[in-house]
Amino acid sequence: MKHLLIMVLACSGVMASVPGICDDNPPISEATQECLGCHETFHPGIVADWEKSRHAMITPENAMKAAMPARKVSSAVIPDNLKSVVVGCAECHTQHPEAHSDTFSHNGFKVHVVVTPEDCAVCHSQEREQYADNIMAHAWKNLMGNTLYQSLKQSIIGSPVQKNGRVAFAPPDSSMDATTCLYCHGTRLTVTGFEKRDTDAGELEFPVIEGWPNQGVGRINPDGSLGACTSCHSRHSFSMETARKPYTCKECHSGPDVPAYKVYEVSKHGNIAASQQAGWNFAAVPWKIGKDFTAPTCAVCHISLLTGADGAVVAQRTHRMNDRLSDRIFGLIYAHRQPKSPDTTIIRNKDGLQLPTDFDGGSAVSALIDDQEFQKRRETMQSICRSCHSTSWVKGHWARYDHMITATNTATRAATDIMREIWKRGYAPAPDKNLRIFDRAIEKKWSHIWLFDANNARFAAAMAGGGDYGVFAEGFYPLSEHLQEMNDWLEHKGK
């Protein structure tokens, strides 16, 4: 059998150095052998990725023999039919057929296309549970279920129409949503029917899924679950190495509103990672600081299970990333403490808006974490820094970062005060129940200040990528310029 041979070779190569075991002749279920029989002809790319993956090399039963914390299968019990065969096409694509509205009859099998967190959870229950509490899993509703954010969305991607002699923006359609905002936030997948198609294997029937393809972090799946594990674990390699490298996060965290990757890339950490990573071990579990790598990637600070060279745990792995986050530095419209719930649509500020802060600068305190939780999360993040830095270095860094949060919030307050004066004097329509507060040029200037300029300065301070993104490229230079322009605009209107 061709694919068996390939697997034995893969197992004796690079992957053999991975902690854990490679089975000599990994048993493949009969169902999966049938899938492979056709799909290695039709989709050689898919089959090759799978063959090189850990899923093709070891059965769950043998993987579970690894001692914690090196064990990669977190579920305590695995169903008998899945235990003693490798995780092949059928093991993922035919699970829970009744729960999937995208299930279709396929060569004698009940197959579904979209493999969801609920399917992965059979073997990876802990990751699935934690991810459900991650704000990312809720990204669709957090955007689509918030009136103010819908208004922001419409003012950016809405279709321009002439109305009373002015350009106005009509609500965007679902195709536009899917290629823009929901590319990252995730779409809602809906099965609208089934269609027959001629294929190289004869006429076959397939589901028609609106909103697909998509791998957004908060995608709503055909079984009702939230998220796409593939947003970081690209199919069909599901590789640890890929997830741990910063390019995985770059896909969604690079914009001028969310510049994490950009500041990381120009930081000392990013510089060292770029120049040294060829010699690092990105596959080792647990990941040993100093031995396997010497500077952090995104995963190190936000997700990974980390130990010292002696094996003592520095931080537990988390797919609920706010375990390590105390502040929310993404301005909505001010930086604020992390919300208690990953569903941010339940938050109301004192004016009844679905926002964690007030235009006055206060915050929706009861919806945000308390002092004790705040300190606990900071301590977790700082303990990671202290594996490579002295306490004084870490304290000095954090003091400046806190100061930057205050400084940028102060600047946002100044801009918001001008904006409110403009609304008050009627130079732009005041916020009504539809909250159309983003569609005049002066309003865009105001949102530019808190959404781009202030965010860049804060992200640069948080992740030690100071330089350009805090000052000239983005950050304080444009911030001060935009504030002056708002000021002058109001002054001229008044004359």
Window 129-168: residues binding ligand HEC (CB under 6 A): 131, 135-136, 138-139, 142-143, 149, 152-153, 156-157
Return the number of the residue (350 or 493) whose C-beta is nearest ligand HEC: 350
| Near ligand HEC by CB under 6 A: residue from 184, 191, 226, 419 | 184
Restricting to residues 295-324, name those near ligand HEC by CB under 6 A.
295-296, 298-305, 317, 319, 321-322
Angle at 6 between CA 5 and CA 10, to 5 degrees: 120
Residue 155 β-bridge partners: none
Distance CA 294, CA 257 (A): 29
CA 178 vs CA 23, 135, 154, 171, 434: distances in Å: 42, 19, 13, 13, 23
**158-166, 253-261, 441-449, 471-479 -> range binding ligand HEC (CB under 6 A):** 253-261
Helices (H) and strands (E) in the chain, counts: 23, 11
Return the number of the residue (381 or 486) whose C-beta is nearest ligand HEC: 381
353 binds ligand HEC (CB under 6 A): no
Distance CA 431, CA 137 (A): 30
Asked if residues 371 and 350 have their Cβ atoms less than 8 Å apart, the reply is no
Residue 167 β-bridge partners: 162
Distance CA 90, CA 100 (A): 15
| Near ligand HEC by CB under 6 A: residue from 7, 28, 178, 243 | 243
Residue 454: CB minimum distance to ligand HEC, A = 12
Restricting to residues 8-67, name those near ligand HEC by CB under 6 A.
20, 31, 34-39, 42-43, 46-47, 50, 54-55, 58, 60, 63, 66
Asked if residues 305 and 69 have their Cβ atoms less than 8 Å apart, the reply is yes
292 binds ligand HEC (CB under 6 A): no
The single residue listed with the structure tokens 């002699």 is 165
| Near ligand HEC by CB under 6 A: residue from 261, 438, 450, 452 | 261
169 binds ligand HEC (CB under 6 A): no
Distance CA 264, CA 21 (A): 35
| Near ligand HEC by CB under 6 A: residue from 28, 266, 325, 333 | 325
Restricting to residues 203-232, name those near ligand HEC by CB under 6 A.
204, 206-207, 213, 215-217, 227-232
188 binds ligand HEC (CB under 6 A): no
CA dihedral 100, 179, 155, 478 (to 10 degrees): 120
Restricting to residues 75-114, name those near ligand HEC by CB under 6 A.
82, 87-94, 106-107, 109, 111, 113-114
Return the number of the residue (301 or 457) whose C-beta is nearest ligand HEC: 301
Asked if residues 89 and 50 have their Cβ atoms less than 8 Å apart, the reply is yes
Return the number of the residue (94 or 456) whose C-beta is nearest ligand HEC: 94
- Total number of residues that touch ligand HEC (CB under 6 A): 138
Positive or negative CA dihedral for 12, 13, 17, 22? Answer: negative
